[in-house]
């Protein structure tokens, strides 16, 4: 499934993207990696190369369509094919909506989490069609339910889900897998999450609750879902019930989510 295939991974300088890159390298997949922090990206690339695969590391910003096109061009120049696009780059927020001072927060979240995926998918699609490949979109359980302090993030992940669902109906030759993880441990997402002033929080608090999943566990689940050609992967699986419960008892879901966030200064 993975040996001698070519995967593009956006957001490969840390967290889930870096873990996926290494896991695929260990399975013999050649890689084109993308992110803005070049030194960290090069570190991931070096680790992957030590597994014996070829790797191109492209520095760029997913919010810029031309950077996304350059990534795809670089992958084609090096490998002449693309089998998997893993659209993983993302950014979060931690702020109550009524306290946000810089509305640019919402623009950045949509530009990164939603448009970044759209730009990469658009540039890669002809090659994915040619290889009958796979587009893996890293969304979040927040693509299906709301979470307080995350209005803009939740909206951007809902947008990702809508886009991928519609795209799957347009393309027969390309398999689309949507990944919806719960909180992950071992990533930089919280540290870089945008605060109310529009800048990164640069703090590891608020702390993770005990249900957070390790990136490596998430990574293994994603590779397994790719192998099984699943359409959707919710991690952990028990959260699959939430959207159904939301249809029947939306107030119970609101209570459950607010209860999980109770350390985070929420309205009573």
What are the residue numbers of the active site? 153
Give the one residue of 43, 47, 54, 61 binding ligand NAP; rule: CB under 6 A: 61
Smallest gap from residue 78 Cβ to ligand NAP (A): 19
Residue 184 dihedral angles phi and psi, to the nearest 5°: -110, 145
Give the one residue of 1, 4, 37, 204 binding ligand NAP; rule: CB under 6 A: 37
Around Cβ 60, how many Cβ atoms within 10 Å? 20
Q: How far apart are CA 125 and CA 148, in angstroms?
A: 35
Stretches 125-133, 187-195, 236-244, 257-265: which one binds ligand NAP (CB under 6 A)?
A: 187-195
Check residue 17 for interaction with ligand NAP (CB under 6 A): yes
Taken as a whole, the chain contains a residue count of: 268
Helix H or strand E segment including 232: strand 232-235
Give the one residue of 48, 82, 145, 184 binding ligand NAP; rule: CB under 6 A: 184
Residues whose CB falls within 8 Å of the CB of residue 170, separated by 6 or more in sequence, listed in order: none
Cβ proximity of 111 and 42 under 8 Å: no
Site for ligand NAP in 207-246 (CB under 6 A): none
Q: Quick one: which of 233, 204, 236, 188 has its CA closest to 19?
A: 188
Stretches 29-37, 48-56, 74-82, 125-133: which one binds ligand NAP (CB under 6 A)?
A: 29-37
Site for ligand NAP in 97-126 (CB under 6 A): 112
Check residue 29 for interaction with ligand NAP (CB under 6 A): no
Give the one residue of 15, 133, 152, 195 binding ligand NAP; rule: CB under 6 A: 15
Q: How far apart are CA 15 and CA 102, in angstroms?
A: 27
Check residue 62 for interaction with ligand NAP (CB under 6 A): yes
Q: How far apart are CA 265 and CA 242, in angstroms?
A: 23
Q: Output 131 or 264, the one with its CB closest to ligand NAP.
A: 264
């Amino acid at each position: 499934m993975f040996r001698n295939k070519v995967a593009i991974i956006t957001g490969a300088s840390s967290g889930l993207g870096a873990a996926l890159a290494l896991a695929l390298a260990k399975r013999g997949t050649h890689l084109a990696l993308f992110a803005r922090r070049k030194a960290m990206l090069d570190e991931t690339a070096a680790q992957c190369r030590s597994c014996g695969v070829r790797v191109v590391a492209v520095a760029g910003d997913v919010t810029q369509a031309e950077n996304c096109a350059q990534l795809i061009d670089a992958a084609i120049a090096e490998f002449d094919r693309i089998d998997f696009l893993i659209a993983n780059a993302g950014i979060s927020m931690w702020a109550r909506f009524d306290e946000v001072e810089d509305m640019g927060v919402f623009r950045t979240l949509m530009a990164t989490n939603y448009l970044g995926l759209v730009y990469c998918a658009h540039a890669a699609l002809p090659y994915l069609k040619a290889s009958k490949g796979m587009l893996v979109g890293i969304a979040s359980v927040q693509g299906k339910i709301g979470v307080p302090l995350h209005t803009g993030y939740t909206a951007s992940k809902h947008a990702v889900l809508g886009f991928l669902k519609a795209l799957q109906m347009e393309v027969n030759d390309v398999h689309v897998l949507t990944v919806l993880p719960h909180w992950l441990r071992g990533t930089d997402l919280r540290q870089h999450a945008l605060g109310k002033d529009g800048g990164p929080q640069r703090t590891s608090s608020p702390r993770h609750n005990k249900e957070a999943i390790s990136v490596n566990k998430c990574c293994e689940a994603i590779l397994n879902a790719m192998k099984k050609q699943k359409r959707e992967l919710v991690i952990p699986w028990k959260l699959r019930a939430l959207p159904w419960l939301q249809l029947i008892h939306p107030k119970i879901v609101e209570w459950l989510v607010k209860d999980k966030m109770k350390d985070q200064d929420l309205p009573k």
